[in-house]
Amino acid sequence: MYGLVDCNNFYVSCERVFNPLLKGQPVVVLSNNDGCIIARSNEAKALGIPMGAPLHLYKKLIDQKNVFTYSSNYTLYGDMSARVMDSLNYFVPDMEIYSIDEAFISLKGFNLNSLVEEMSDIRKLIYQWTGIPTSIGVGPTKTLAKLANKIAKKYTSNGVYIVTISDQLTQILDDMKLEDIWGISKGWGARLRSIGINTPLQLQQSDPCQIRKLISVVGERIVYELRGNSCLQLEEVVNKKTITVSRSFGNMIDDKDDLKKALANHVVRAAEKLRYQDSLCSGIHIFINTNRYRKQDLQYSNGAMINFDEPIDNTVEIINESFKLLENIYRSNYNYKKIGVVLLGLKQNKKNVIENTYIIQSNLFTLNQNLSNNSKKSDVCMKLFDDINSRMGKKTLFYGSQGMQKRSKKIKQKADKWSMRSCYKSPSYTTKWNDVLKVY
């Protein structure tokens, strides 16, 4: 048996943990640059505010109904997600983190006769420890566990639902839409209807080979999963093959120095992710583009890449190379909307346990007697940099190319031109000392 644990209205729930006045009130959370609505409380849904709606189209309704509005606070949400997953890991032998607010769990060793009570206890303890409400769906396959979670969230009072192969499942599948099944897109749903398959029940009873020919092997697996035959096991966390960091600017930018600051900040973040998974990158790609929706502006987009002689994880080296690429693709007299960096060809930074040194494949034409020493110095420097920022807060240490920042509380920090718009952002309650909640 598998379980799917899903955090209810996760972004909204994170805001409510630190502001109890929001409970029972309509709340929405916005996307980058405060563009669209990406999370809604049940109260906001009841007002008819749709998912993905542009803020400016519903601003009047939001103001009239006193809907609490928040900019996305991904630092807070990421930290709260880690707390939920750590809590969940305490109860189960194995789990797969599927997204920031979802995780599949193995229920091996659990008593099937008392699953509802045990899942209810897990929900209560996670809420007690983190303040985040969850729903848990259980089934003999991951697909059925995902289906059970939908039912648990919408139709149960205790937030737990268990699906088994029975007449009850037959009725459930007959009453649902094809797109309600995990993995079935609108396009695949249209293809299935073209051959007379209109419900998940008909899909369950169809010929798997026919579905494979019509859709793909993924569709065939869905058929078997709906029948209770598990085809999808829990997946282990796999290191990323590429790392991308990019953001749209809060304001249009035409100055190369501002573009450099934005690029340097993106590189620093990408390099942190690179070292976090203990990898090296073999090359980088950077790109810039204007806003194609501003028809009155001249349009331009371009990108460039470079391969390194040796795989690296040193932030300074990556920044220097990215600046060289920016010089080649930058054009004046354009209003830029976005810049980004992609770290390519990621390789595991394998370690020689005996000699306590990292094994790096050298380039035949760039052999350097001091390569080992330089590599060790770089490792020490980067580790120190990451440790200080991890303990003392983001950007405690930063590079001058990221832009100088005023640290005095008396001087108001003016946002950089390239920074995202976050007019409604809540404090970083769990990751910044100055934002820690004060109780008087």
pLDDT number for residue 333: 87
The Cα–Cα gap between 249 and 221 comes to: 42
Domains delineated in the chain: 2-160 (3.30.70.270), 165-226 (1.10.150.20), 243-402 (3.30.1490.100)
The Cα–Cα gap between 158 and 160 comes to: 6
pLDDT in tens, 325-341: 999 999 988 999 999 99
Strand partners, 246: 340
Cβ–Cβ < 8 Å for 169, 162: no
Task: State phi, psi for 419 to the nearest 5 degrees.
Answer: -65, 150
Spatial neighbors of 60 by CB under 8 A, at least 6 apart, are: none
Model confidence at 366, pLDDT cuts 50, 70, 90, reads: low
Regarding predicted confidence, which is higher, 138 or 364? 138
pLDDT in tens, 270-309: 999 999 888 899 999 999 999 888 888 889 999 999 999 8
Spatial neighbors of 198 by CB under 8 A, at least 6 apart, are: 178, 192
Share of the chain above pLDDT 70, in %: 90
State how beta strands 27-30 and 37-40 pair: antiparallel
Burial 248-285 (b: 16+ CB within 10 A, else e): bbbeebeeeebbbbbbbbbbbbbbbebbeeebbbebbb
Q: Check whether 353 has a pLDDT greater than 50.
A: no
pLDDT in tens, 174-206: 999 999 999 999 999 999 999 999 999 999 999
110: helix, strand or coil? coil
Q: Give the DSSP H/E element, type plus range, for residue 390.
A: helix 371-392
Q: Check whether 219 has a pLDDT greater than 50.
A: yes
398: buried, middle or exposed (CB in 10 Å: 19+, 13-18, 0-12)? middle
Of the ranges 74-83, 191-200, 237-246, which one carries the lowest mean pLDDT score? 237-246
